[in-house]
Homo-oligomer: A and B are copies of this chain.
Amino acid sequence: MLISTSATVPASCRVLAAELPHHVGRQVTVQGWLHRRRVLKSVAFLILRDRSGLAQVVVAEPDVMSAVGDHPEETVLQVTGTVTANPQAPGGAEVTSPEVVALSGPAVAPPFDLYRPTVPATLPTVLDHAPVALRHPQLRAPHAISAASLAGFRTALDSLGFTEIHTPKVVASATESGANVFAIDWFGTRAYLAQSPQFFKQAMVGVFERVYEIGPVFRAEPHDTARHLAQYTSLDAELGFITDHRDVMAVLREVLAGMTAAVADRAGEACALLDVKLPEVPRQIPEIHFAEAQELLAEHTGEDPRGEPDLAPAHERWLSEWALREHGSEFLFVTGYPMVKRPFYTHPEPGRPEHSNSFDLLFRGLELVTGGQRLHRYEDYLAALAARGESPEPYAGYLAAFRHGMPPHGGFAIGLERWTTRLTEADNIRRATLFPRDLHRLTP
């Protein structure tokens, strides 16, 4: 009996599709999904998909062929056969003389053909059917890049003496900014989903000096755009005993280099599939002060943004192009943003207090990271809140750390999905999000 519906071969004997070329001449077992099936007159070709890639199985035996005809695409198969060299097969080897076992079958066909090289479906269809749509190699690839990026983020920070933390996602008051919070019923009390781990990571500088957190943050922004998510994964870092924001920028440079290297190292195939061009992270990322940037824009663009408290998207693009042209860098730090556009915990620029010791990192024309030096003295916090007309009361928990002595410190946050979207040049951030949550989407 060559076809059966129960698995008996232990999984430990399994060989992955990508490993087949190393097993030519041997009997092996491969397992995966039936990606594509072509049944010809006297031979059938099965393309099996597993986590490593695709494997070709050649069926010439009549009884196996007829049984294989019953299995639609996405059937989960276990195939035992001989590895045979064939330059035309993926990886240069295929499985011949196979015994084929169906481990389970699909109840319905996928909403679109998963085996086509590019995705023959609109984004809403992809998102509605994420559990099966993400199996398409092109739709899976951004998530392999995200996973690799996370590994690079951690490796870089671990080597710099950072400690990983996990902090509450439910808070008593909306602290980062008053609006755009999700309210929650917490045992009968009103609470909120955390918009960032900002205050916790700052407090933890007092404990571990250098900390990072990778976790979800929640923004109740009622924007239905290609770049807004209501939940995203924030890569947060914070470090103490800095001189100013430049020490934070130096750490961020190492992080970006680590993330890029990890993507090249761990997600090469995903990059190839999406034709990703990884950026070079210069030893020293060029930087320009906000005021200088405005001068430059006034001089060269025919517009005069001086006096504006922020950069327009078109100006960010222009500055990115300028950095590439003048410094050969796809990254550009813009420093010294006006205090009026920065949160209350931002450290002002010494000698120029309308500017701040903060920065944005532009990457390929868009802002990718925001960071800077924070206030560290208790009295400075009280003054900053008073200047904004805010009472220190709701911030009591946050301010506690600063009442007990805190070093000069700063940090940054990278949105994982935004990073992956930029790397893959995707048209919508939802393509870099496993199961997006937004204004309209709570499922799947």
Q: Is the interface of A mostly helix, strand, loop or mixed?
A: mixed
Name the contact of A435 in the complex, choosing from B31, B134, B168 (C-beta under 8 A).
B168
A318 within 8 A of B: no
Q: How far is the CA of A404 from the CA of B376 in the complex (A)?
A: 54
A384 within 8 A of B: no
A247 within 8 A of B: yes
Copies of this subunit:
2
Q: How far is the CA of A431 from the CA of B323 in the complex (A)?
A: 49
A7 adjacent to B243 (CB under 8 Å) = yes
B11 adjacent to A242 (CB under 8 Å) = yes
Nearest residue (CB) in B for A401 is B131
A422 within 8 A of B: no
A208 within 8 A of B: yes
Given A104-B406, A105-B405, 13 more A-B residue pairs with CB atoms under 8 Å apart are: A74-B404, A75-B405, A140-B207, A143-B207, A144-B163, A151-B164, A169-B216, A169-B231, A170-B231, A172-B443, A189-B442, A200-B434, A203-B444
Binding site for B on A (CB under 8 A): 7, 10-11, 14, 31, 33, 50-51, 74-76, 103-108, 110, 129-132, 134-135, 140, 143-144, 146-147, 150-151, 154, 158, 161, 163-172, 182-187, 189, 191, 193, 200, 203-204, 206-210, 214-216, 218, 220, 222, 230-231, 233, 241-243, 247, 376-379, 396-398, 400-408, 416, 434-435, 437, 439, 442-444
Sorted nearest first, the 6 A-B pairs with minimum C-beta distance are A397-B444, A131-B401, A131-B203, A51-B209, A74-B405, A106-B405
Q: How far is the CA of A161 from the CA of B19 in the complex (A)?
A: 13
